[in-house]
Amino acid sequence: MEPNETTPPQNQTLSTDQNMATPSSTPTEPSPKRAFGPTVGVGIIVLIIVLGGLYFWGAELNKRQEGTMMTPEQILSENDPTLNNLKVQSSADTVDAIEADLQATDLSAIDADLDQVDAELQR
């Protein structure tokens, strides 16, 4: 050999097998990942359908309730015997006249309307 030629050193090997890392175990198959997107999408759609159903159900209940409620004009035009009795009292301001009006006024059924209001509110 001529002195100008370079030769690879004897202690270096050109094998790539030694430089590559070998796995210590066989590779396992990756576990399948669960897709949460479709599940979340279905959940949102079901929630929207349920909320829409509740909205329309509530609207139907309100329509039914409006038909049974009295307007202020209907209440004022209705004949109220207690109110009629109070209107016929005298306008005198003497003690005897006031006592006579109190004795003539029947207040035993004054809260009968409140029972009806309570019954309507409980429906």
Asked if residue 123 has pLDDT above 80, the reply is no
Helices (H), 2-123: 36-68, 72-77, 81-87, 95-104, 112-122
Q: Are 86 and 104 in contact (CB under 8 A)?
A: no
Asked if residue 49 has pLDDT above 90, the reply is yes
Q: Are 91 and 76 in contact (CB under 8 A)?
A: no
Burial-class residue 89 by CB neighbours within 10 Å (0-12, 13-18, 19+).
middle
Asked if residue 27 has pLDDT above 90, the reply is no
* pLDDT attached to residue 64: 80
Length of the chain: 123
* pLDDT attached to residue 93: 86
Q: How confident is the model at residue 56 (pLDDT cuts 50, 70, 90)?
A: very high
- Predicted TM-score (pTM) of the model is 0.34
DSSP letter for 24, please: S
Across the range 8-31, mean pLDDT stands at: 58
Task: Compute CA distances 14 → 5, 77, 80, whole Å.
Answer: 19, 112, 115
